[in-house]
Amino acid sequence: MKIEQKVELKKVEKSRNPNVDNFQVSSDSNIETYSLSEVAKYLNVNEGTLRNWEKRFSEFLSNYRNQLNHRAFTEGDVKVLERIKALIESGLFTQSGVKHMLSNKRGSRSGGANQEGIVPVENMFAKPPSGVAQMDDKYKEKLLMALNSLGSEIHALRRETREDLKESLKREIEHLTLLLFPPEKPKRPWWKIW
């Protein structure tokens, strides 16, 4: 989240209700946090969607609460939620796929995460460890094989459908031809009638 956008968002919220301060700082530390509605507005998603993501992907978010025990999102949480939104909106990942992608980008907690388990953005997009990269390569290889298999199967089905259509049309044309132009019976000579 850009600082200008944060300041702008805070000004908008305060101008609507000057008694409500959406910028919440816990008394025990100076961690900048954002309310659920503030993050939902920033990400342009429903508050219910945000709560759902919080439940489904809780292992990637800090469980930070303010003094009133309301859910508060830290800067790191917002970054993770942005990534979740991008992965889900791409339509390429299921819930487990999103978790896999987040855990790959995140790395181990000791590898760059702070005491809250929040991974800085630089570490999120860093090159994954070689073991993870090797697993990703195997996954890509299997995916490519599956796609090739599907492609050839689709090609075969199209060919089969085309042949079926040709046969069906040929029979229909023959039937209509017989109806429109019935074959003439050869006339027998009159002397062969008796």
Give the separation between CA 89 and CA 91, rounded to whole angstroms: 5
Contact (Cβ atoms closer than 8 angstroms) between residue 38 and residue 112: no
Quickly tell me which residue has 């599956």 as its tokens. Answer: 146
Give SS3 for 176.
helix
Separation of CA 23 from chain center:
31
61 close to 52: Cβ distance less than 8 angstroms: no
pLDDT confidence of residue 23: 39
pLDDT tens for each residue of the chain, 194 residues long: 454 455 444 444 444 434 334 433 344 456 788 888 888 888 888 888 888 888 888 888 887 787 887 888 888 888 888 888 888 888 777 888 888 888 876 544 444 445 445 555 555 555 555 666 677 888 888 888 888 888 889 999 999 999 999 999 999 999 999 899 888 877 777 777 66
Domains of the chain, by residue range, sit at: 1-126, 129-181
Count of CB atoms within 10 A of residue 77's CB? Answer: 22
Q: How far is CA 160 from CA 146, 150, 180, in A?
A: 21, 15, 30
CATH of 1-126, one of 2.160.20.70, 1.10.1660.10, 3.40.50.720, 3.40.225.10: 1.10.1660.10
End-to-end CA distance of the chain: 104
Report pLDDT for 16.
40
